[in-house]
Structure 1
Amino acid sequence: MVPGVGTLVNVLAVLAGGLVGLLLGNRLPVRTREVVTDGLGLVTLLIAGTSAMAVLDDGLAETVGDSAPVLIVLGALLVGGITGSLLRLEERVESLGGWLQRRLAGGQGSADRQRFVEGFVVSSLIFCTGPLTILGSINDGLGNGADQLLLKSALDGFAAIAFAASFGWGVLAACVTVVAVQGSLTLVGVALGDVLPDAHLAAVTATGGLLLVGVALRLLRIREVPVADLLPALVVAPVLVQVVAAVR
């Protein structure tokens, strides 16, 4: 399969699911939409938990030692969070959402603008911070097939239905983020080849799982965790694995 097809299918799935959600949204009461969003938050917690369990991966423990994996994930979140905060990634993502709202849905009130931005931000984070985004995109670029991205497309399509019913047009705008993030990662796979051993991928997966916990907390309206500011942790995690493995 030609590299990039997986991302194309993913975008089409989000658009199709989002349009279905928009059609249903006007027919669903607010309480029902909130319950659907709560359900997605709980499922996101489940996915996050299974991803975070990668911190117990045997290959990771053999590479960095039994006690180091949790510290590596912690270090990745701290360093990544500081970096993302200094770069104001969360603010920039929200600004991008506001710009898209003005371009695509200008003239609406402040409440509608906030709903658009929230839908864009939450959907972008859901669609782009999971381990399938990273692993699937890189594997697609390496020429190993787009099976993981096709699975992700199915999940994102169903999620887009629920999100669009709750948040509206902002969910469809998240396709821009999907193309940017997954397209970039696919190009990385094409250009660099297989650069991440299994231990490094395990660290990335575990770190991504914790980021998804932050997304779930936002969906459940428990705490507005600035997940976008933490995204650099996905890059820091494999670097820390390499550093620890080198000094052992």
Structure 2
Amino acid sequence: MIGTIVNTLTILIGSIIGGSIKKGIGEKYQSALYNAMGLVACGLGINAIVQNMSKSTFPVLFIISLAIGSLVGSVLDLNGRFERFIKRFSTGTLSQGLSTAILLFCIGTLSILGPMESALHGNQTYLYTNATLDFVTSLVLASTYGIGIAFAAAVLFLWQGSIYLFAGYLSPFLTADLLVEISLIGGFLILSSGLSILKIKDFNALNMVPALFVPIVWFIIKAIL
């Protein structure tokens, strides 16, 4: 599990460095960083969509998934619950930054396949690569939203740790087709988060997270039938 530990530590270190930098940045420059992070999130989301949409074997599945997932998330008020929880510890826009960080850190091929490769083959390459990317991302996010971005490290540890522990059971199930669908929907979630940061449209991205589980249910039903 060394790869996951390293990945978690890089986010913590990046958040601490970024949080320290934020203290010396004026409001004008913080606004510039908000815009930069919004554009980055949009770019990463669009890239994930373009890369995976052409590979999808079920072209309408992502539409159905986003529709059902958004309805379920809205009924459960996931975004509202998350914001209220974060406001117990911090004020401002930390909840928006954290939701973006969690999506960027956890929803991606490297963060899903990495723990499996580590558990099944002792290969840490995916996780070390992911750690490098997450270090830079956490540093920039923390310089924008504050050291509270470090909370995302705990979420990543639980996420990757769970995949690591259940890798033997998950490996036959996490097919290339399913990963494509999850990555495609993840791209839309990251894009929506970027648009929210840029204040173009507030999508309440966390309310859309249940959409990630719809393809899993679909593939289970398909396997049974």
For residue 17 of structure 1, report the CA deviation from its aligned partner: 0.9
Q: Distance in 2 between matches of 1:80 and 1:138?
A: 26
Aligned length: 224
- SS of the residue 1:113 aligns to: coil
Contact persistence 1:7–1:182 (CA under 8 A): yes
2:83 is matched with 94
1:231 is matched with 209
Q: More deviation in 23-32 or 84-93?
A: 84-93
Q: Distance in 2 between matches of 1:142 and 1:38?
A: 40
1:162 is matched with 140
Contact persistence 1:40–1:159 (CA under 8 A): no
Q: Distance in 2 between matches of 1:48 and 1:119?
A: 16
Cα distance per residue 1:173-220 (max 9 Å; x no partner)? 222222222222333324433312211211111111111111211222
Q: Distance in 2 between matches of 1:96 and 1:179?
A: 19
- SS of the residue 2:87 aligns to: helix
1:40-189 → structure 2 map (5 Å cutoff) = 40-53=37-50, 54-57=52-55, 60-61=56-57, 68-69=58-59, 71-99=60-88, 101=89, 113-143=91-121, 145-189=123-167
Cα distance per residue 1:34-88 (max 9 Å; x no partner)? 222322222222221221121211xx43xxxxxx42x111111112222222333
Q: Distance in 2 between matches of 1:162 and 1:86?
A: 33
Change in Cα spacing, 1:56 to 1:36, as seen in structure 2 (3 Å) is same
TM-score by length of 1: 0.78
Change in Cα spacing, 1:230 to 1:117, as seen in structure 2 (3 Å) is closer
Change in Cα spacing, 1:203 to 1:87, as seen in structure 2 (3 Å) is same
Q: More deviation in 175-184 or 115-124?
A: 115-124
1:34-45 → structure 2 map (5 Å cutoff) = 34-45=31-42
For residue 224 of structure 1, report the CA deviation from its aligned partner: 2.2
Q: More deviation in 225-234 or 125-134?
A: 125-134
Change in Cα spacing, 1:207 to 1:119, as seen in structure 2 (3 Å) is closer
Confirm whether residue 7 of structure 1 aligns to residue 8 of structure 2: no
Contact persistence 2:195–2:202 (CA under 8 A): yes
Q: Distance in 2 between matches of 1:18 and 1:9?
A: 14
> Which of 1 and 2 has greater Rg?
1
Contact persistence 2:142–2:148 (CA under 8 A): yes
1:192 is matched with 170
Q: Distance in 2 between matches of 1:240 and 1:96?
A: 32
Q: Distance in 2 between matches of 1:27 and 1:169?
A: 13
Change in Cα spacing, 1:115 to 1:200, as seen in structure 2 (3 Å) is closer
Runs of 4+ in 1 over 4 A off after TM superposition: 241-247
TM-score by length of 2: 0.86
- SS of the residue 1:231 aligns to: helix
Q: Distance in 2 between matches of 1:22 and 1:7?
A: 22
Q: Say which of 180, 188, 213 aligns to 2:191.
A: 213
